[in-house]
Structure 1
């Protein structure tokens, strides 16, 4: 999985998507239902750092394998949708890219 640029991107996308799920479905309820606002601070900070790494990986993959505008746009868009990275990961596994 880590041998190619796409494999590395898929891994980072999975981790970033997981951080969004944790932020939305664990940290936010803890903040509003349990009064534990630090959960959002911690999860939000981690998610923000992972999001920046995710954007850097999009840039890296775009230059490494010459991703089309559609792939770049899709990769950025799914970062804002819960479970969106899982959908993109499925498409990436099915797509054929040159070995990079």
Structure 2
């Protein structure tokens, strides 16, 4: 499962970017300009990336030897803007893993 870590890092990055785009660009455009096209365009990819993030986090948690609390932190971070970037830095990079 250690081979899945680079894939998980990419998914985390893409999930974080899609969430930010959805929250701070697409949603304001939808409500300020009455144009839902960007929410429609970004919604499905973000949903798929979110589900992939959760599945990959659960799959690699035992291999990474994460305590249950750490897994919950990693899962919770996916619903906070910029949370996946923090997780990448703190738990997924070599420098972050060395501290735990």
The TM-score with structure 1 as length reference comes to: 0.83
Q: Distance in 2 between matches of 1:64 and 1:90?
A: 18
Within 5 Å, which residues of 2 pair with 1:9-48? 9-48=8-47
Q: Distance in 2 between matches of 1:12 and 1:65?
A: 17
Partner of 1:69: 68
The CA RMSD over aligned residues, in Å, is 1.8
| Aligned partners of 1:6 and 1:61 also within 8 Å | yes
The TM-score with structure 2 as length reference comes to: 0.83
Q: How many residues align?
A: 95
Pairwise CA distance, 1:4: 3.6
Runs of 4 or more consecutive aligned structure 1 residues displaced over 2 Å after TM superposition = 3-8, 63-67
Name stretches of at least 5 consecutive residues in structure 2 with no aligned partner: none
Higher relative helix content:
2
Partner of 2:54: 55
